[in-house]
Every structure is written in C-alpha cells, then in structure tokens.
Chains A and B, each alone.
Chain A
Amino acid sequence: MKIWKLAAALCASVALPSVAMATDCEVTHWWTSGGEAAAVGELAKAFDASGDKWIDGAIAGSGGTARPIMISRITGGDPMCATQFNHGQQALELVQAGLMQDLTDVAEANNWKETVFPPDLLDACTVDGKIYCAPVNIHSPEWLWLSNKVYEDLGMPVPKNWNEFVASAPAVEAAGKIPLALGNQSWQSNLAFGAITVAIGGIDLWKAVNLNKDMAAAAGPEMLTVFQAAAEARKLAAKSTVQDWNQATNLVITDQAAGQIMGDWAQGEFQVAGEVAGKDYTCLPGLGVNKFLSTGGDAFYFPLNTDPEITAAQKRLAALLVTPEVQVAFNLKKGSLPIRGDVDLAAANDCMKQGLEILAAGNIVPGGDQVWSPDVQTQLGDLQVEFWKSQDMTAEAAQAKYVEILTAGL
C-alpha cells in the first residue's frame, strides 16, 4: 500500500503542474548581464500579472551560444513557448519550414501595422505576408561610450566625436589607460567596424554597400578609407584583453579605458553600476559624426506547439510584449529604444533621448542581421576579428576579402 501511495504521489507531482490554472510558458533568451536580467524581469512580471506563468530559460554566453541551442530544440521537436532572436534572417529558415506560430491575427487585432515604428521592424518579422514575430526593442550598435573621469583626470574636454577621440588617444595612452576597450569575440570587431563605416564612410556608402549591394562601392576608395580608419582604431584597442562585451564596458565604467564602441545595450551596464549619463559617462550615437542608427533589435518568435493551451498563451504573450506599458518598463531597464513611436519615455535618460530624437527624425537604416544572412555575418566577423586583432593585416587586404565575402553572399 505504501508503495502505491508513493507512486500515486509521484504521478501527481508530474501531472499536477500541467493542470494548474495558469499556462506555463517557457521563454528562452540570452539576456544574462546585469542590466539585461533586470529588463527581462519586467517582462516576466507583466506576464505573471496577466495570469500566466513565465518560466525563465536564460542561456548564458551570447547569441552565438544561445541560438544553436534554441534552433536545435525547435528542429528537434522540443519547442519552447517563446524564444528570442534578433529579427531578420536568423529564424527565416525555421519560419519557411513551418516551425513557427503565425501571429497575423494577433497583429491585426492589436493594430501592429500602425503602431510599430519604424515599420521595417515589422517587415523583418513578415514572411510571405504573414507575421511571425513580436519585436520588443530597437538596438543600435553605432554608439561610442566614453568615461568622463578619464578625461577629467587628464584635464582634457570629453571628445565630441570619433575624430576628437582618436586625437585624444595618445594622451590617454600616456596616462597608462587603454584608449579603446574591445572584447575579443568576433561579433564585437564586426560591430565596431559597422559603426566606423557609418561614421567615416557616411550613410550613402553604407546604404550603397549593404542595401543596394553595390560591390563597386564596397571595393572603392571610400570604403578603403573606412578600413584605414579601422586599422588606426585597432592600434588603440591593442591593450584590451577582455573577452565579453560587458567586461569591456566594465573597463570604461571603472575608468581603466577611455571608450568603447558598443551598442546601446551597454547603457544597462552603466545604469546597474549607478553611473549617470552626461555626468559619469558620455554617449555619442553614430560615433558623434553621422547621427544615424541602424535598427537591429530583438524579437520574440513562438515555435509551433501541439498544445492548444500553449498556443493561446503564446498569442497572449505576443500581444502583451507590444503593449505601451510593457514597452516602457522593459526598455527603460534595457537601455534600448521602444518599438512604437507613441509611448512616453519621460523617464528616459540623456542617451536614450538622443536615440529617440534620431529615431523620430527618421535617420535610420536596417540592422546588419536584416540585410545579410548569418553565413555572411559569421564570415564578416571572422574577417574583422582577424583584421582587428592582428597588427599586420593591411587595409587593402582586408577590403579585398570583404568584397569577396559579400559577393559570395549576394
């Protein structure tokens, strides 16, 4: 009898959670740094408050570590309830293979077409006229973050743009600090290069290469100056020996490094460290030269599930993510920009306000993940990390390879 009771208890412990009132929804993402975890907590809070249960499935590492795990779970027939991807081509094949939940009805009911701004965010979620993801934020990589204290100690004004920053670098180096913090991972070199392309090459060149796929422009002399600028920048980063982006940001926060080129997600780290924009640190969108931002970002995808309860929960979550309240709470913590133009970010700090102005002025370009496939992005990352970390690869050689990779990826 005892054994039967025990067995019954065991069965119940397995069966009970699934008959609970609220639907459990496992959400996988790679938001694990301090600022990111605080932001994802806001999403969980809102979802729990609406009566369902958010099961957090954070995967440490970075997107590069997390995405393979997510993809193999989805293709392996163990779909989670919702999962983060960068909107663009990362999940394209999963959608085409029919593994993702169609959200078109949710989007129509909540009028996403009118509210999501800029509209190309929703286009990035759309495959064959159907909407497959809920965008949650806009992240732009083209920011230069500076430590005010480093410059105060040197008795210099804080640089206002990339050129001043480069000019100030010898003095910074003489004081025993690292002029430019840069993590060793390939995507960070690629990001820095993209930011320098917009700043030095200008927006027309960026669009010609990445949108119109004009290979003559990619091989042209203007692009060469961009590579030469990057070759200068890599000298500034030569002493930076950290791996992860938040370790590099930490060098700036602790005033060991003067600056870092990193996306606006770095702002969350400054906030967690208790630093104030404008006072402790300075941010320069578009590296202070060309105030253009690319609108990459994160979106949630909802893998197809057989359980109708989960499908219903997926749709509830999708609708919730785009609501103004969640957008404000989440993006304030995350340091990213909201995906709708009609929310009030009065609490936004100096840096976010600059970003919002650029967004409102329409000075935006699509993110790298939207215009090139992951295959091309990986190869570009390989090229850039090789270029940034070796001190002897010439700008000409790097450009030749750059053109080769892009041409093969057309």
Chain B
Amino acid sequence: MATGVRKSWLFRNVNAKIAALPMVLTTLVVFVGGTIWTVVYSFTNSKLLPRADFVGLAQYERLWANSRWMQSIENLAVYGAFALVFTIVIGFLLAVLMDQKIRYEDTFRTIMLYPFALSFIVTGLVWQWILNPEFGIQSIVRSIGFESFTFDPLYNPDIVMFGLLIAGMWQGTGFIMCIMLAGLRGIDEDIWKATKVDGIPTWKTYIIVIIPMMRAVFITVLVLVTSGIIKLYDLVVAQTSGGPGLASQVPAMYVYDYLFTAQNLGQGLAASTMMLLSVLIVLIPWAYLEFGGKKNG
C-alpha cells in the first residue's frame, strides 16, 4: 500500500519531472557539488593542482593575518555601505519622478537603463578615462580656467573607493529604478485616491503608505544590490586593478590572484569560502522572509 502511494507521487507529472531533471542535476553537480568541493579543498595545502593534503585551518589563519585581505574587506565595507544606501535611495527617487505621469517616460527610462546594458569592464574603462587627471574631468575644468582644480579619485588612495562608487552607481542605479518603478506601478490606483480624499500630502503617502507596501520589492533590491557588492570584481580590474597600491583591492581580486597568479589553490579557496559565507549571511534572512513569511501569512 505504502509503495503504491509513493509510486503515484513519483510518477505524477512525469513529463515535467523528466524535463526538470537536467536542471536538477546541473544544480546538484555544478552548483552544490562545486561549492562543497571548494569548501573541502580550502582545508588543504593545494598549490597549482588540487591535492587532498589536509592542513586544518592553516589557510584561514594565514588569510586573516594577511593585510591585503583585511584591506580588501575594509574597502568592500566602505563601498558596500555607500553603494547600498545611495543605489536604493537614488533608484527610488528616480522611480518616483518617473511615476509622475511625465511626457517621454519611455525615452527617459531607456536612457537610465542603458548603462546597465554595458558590461562592468566597459563601464570601468569609460570611467577610468573620465576620471583620469590628464584626459578627463580635471583637464577639462582646468582648460576652462580653474588651474588649481584637482579631481583625481582613482590616483588618491584615500578616495579611490569613491571613484569606483561613481562608476558602479552610474551603471546600477537605472536597473534598480526600473524594479522600483514596477513596484510603484503595482500599487493600486485606489490607494492613491483614498489618500487624496484623506488629504495626506504626496510625500507623506510615499513614506507611510507606499514604501511599506513595497516591502517585497525592497527586499529583492536589497539582495540584488548586496550580492552585486560582494562579488565586485570586474569594475575594479578595469578601473584601477586594485591600485594605487592596495587601496582599491576587493576580496574577489584576492581570490583570483591566489587561485591563479600565485598558484596557491588552498589560499584562494579559503578566501572564496569566506565570500560564500558572507553571501549566505545576506541570503538566509532573505529566504526566511520570502518563504517563511508566506507560510505564516
């Protein structure tokens, strides 16, 4: 009897299950398998080629004693904090402006979204030239007549992360705006009519009514932006390659350099395991809110 029940469960929707099988296998082997492999080999002293010679936590001890890694984390924290706040605030404000039933909305939306169609490498190179003191903004302003004007964020270790931030936001904000705009359009017109009737000012309506209603959109945006921050890599490579000095190093660059250039697989995998951990710290609360919340509601 019991086997009969299980069979019918197993063979229900059999076509759909067969169709999903390749994806399930890919997920298990490539994503889950690859992740487990990474974590396991981060406890070995593998050099260029993987070797199952376990050394315990030695790679992690070395990692956390390394000043370049510490600096990378610090840089990422600075970049992340500013990117998170500014992308979401500016993205939302732009979406609100778009939502005012303006003329040529399509055109503006397209312009705002165009940077997102570029790869980070292109964005990085473009902004490398714009921010270059010899060719970019600085030289233009100087040629107008302000001889002492200085704006060279990419060559000043103290503010180089802000040079990256400018480029990162130029690229990412338009996309966040579009998601926010979709969220705003999802709000029922009747809500607006009701607040108008009650005489609540528009700005107040946004803050106390609309934003709480867009909770799911904000959480999605939060996860998208945060995971984008943690894997920040190509923008830095194209714009500064981690310089000047180590001033714009990020964890992903450390991982790449130790995996490949330094031929120290164990060290690189230990660093990437730490990155995985930080992604999980972001993802688990999100998954809890998204899926756990539905059950209760």
Contact = CB atoms under 8 A, between A and B. Distances in A.
B61 to A, nearest CB: 11
Contact of A386 (B49, B68, B155): B68
B241 A184 contact: yes
A394 interface: no
B67 A386 contact: yes
A184 B236 CA distance: 13
A243 B243 contact: yes
B68 A68 contact: no
Interface string A386-398: 1011100000000
A389 B246 contact: yes
Contact of B264 (A64, A71, A375, A385): A375
B146 interface: no
B28 to A, nearest CB: 22
Contacts of B246: 382, 385-386, 389
Nearest to B132: A241
B49 A93 contact: yes
A379 B262 contact: yes
A382 B249 CA distance: 10
A389 B245 CA distance: 5
A373 B245 contact: no
A75 B49 contact: yes
Interface in B109-140: 132-134
Contacts of A93: 47-49, 263
Contact of A68 (B152, B240, B241, B261): B261
A390 B244 CA distance: 8
Among B62, B256, B263, the most chain A Cβ lie within 10 Å of the Cβ of B263
Contacts of A243: 241, 243
Interface of B: 47-49, 62, 67-68, 132-134, 152, 155, 157, 240-247, 256-264, 267
Given A93-B263, A184-B244, A385-B245, 7 more contacts: A75-B49, A90-B263, A185-B241, A243-B241, A374-B261, A377-B262, A390-B245
A87 interface: no
A186 B262 CA distance: 13
A94 B48 contact: yes
B279 to A, nearest CB: 23
A378 interface: yes
A186 to B, nearest CB: 8
B273 to A, nearest CB: 18
A184 B243 contact: yes
Contacts of A385: 243, 245-246
A256 B275 CA distance: 42
Contacts of B241: 184-185, 243
Q: What secondary structure prevails in chain A residues at the interface with B? A: helix
A97 interface: yes
Interface string A345-378: 0000000000000000000000000000111011
A177 interface: no
Contacts of B247: 389
A385 B242 CA distance: 10
Contacts of A291: none
The 4 closest A-B pairs by CB, nearest first: A389-B245, A68-B260, A378-B262, A184-B243
Main secondary structure of the interface of B (DSSP, over half): loop
Interface residues of A, number: 29
A241 B245 contact: no
Interface of A: 64, 67-68, 71-72, 75, 90, 93-94, 97, 184-186, 241, 243, 373-375, 377-379, 382, 385-386, 388-390, 401, 408
Contacts of B262: 374-375, 377-379
Nearest to A408: B62
Contacts of B134: 241
Contacts of B264: 374-375, 378
A192 B175 CA distance: 44
A161 B262 CA distance: 34
A101 B68 CA distance: 37
Nearest to B65: A404
A64 B243 contact: no
Contact of A373 (B155, B157, B240, B263): B263
A92 to B, nearest CB: 8
A374 B257 CA distance: 11
Contacts of A75: 49
Contacts of B256: 68
Nearest to A256: B134
Contacts of A90: 263
A71 B260 contact: yes
A388 B264 CA distance: 24
Nearest to B258: A378
Contacts of B258: 375, 378
A94 B157 CA distance: 38
A373 to B, nearest CB: 7
A328 to B, nearest CB: 33
A388 B157 CA distance: 12
Nearest to B48: A93
18 contacts: A71-B48, A71-B260, A90-B263, A94-B48, A97-B49, A184-B240, A186-B242, A241-B132, A241-B244, A243-B243, A375-B47, A375-B262, A378-B257, A385-B243, A385-B245, A389-B244, A389-B246, A408-B62
Which of B48, B241, B262 neighbours the largest number of chain A CB atoms within 10 Å of its CB?
B48
A386 B245 contact: yes
A155 to B, nearest CB: 27
A67 B49 CA distance: 14
A312 to B, nearest CB: 28
Nearest to A187: B261
A393 to B, nearest CB: 9
Contacts of B243: 184-185, 243, 385, 389
A178 to B, nearest CB: 12
B245 A388 contact: yes
Contacts of B263: 71, 90, 93, 373-375
A375 B260 CA distance: 10
Contacts of A401: 67
A67 B260 contact: yes
Nearest to B254: A382
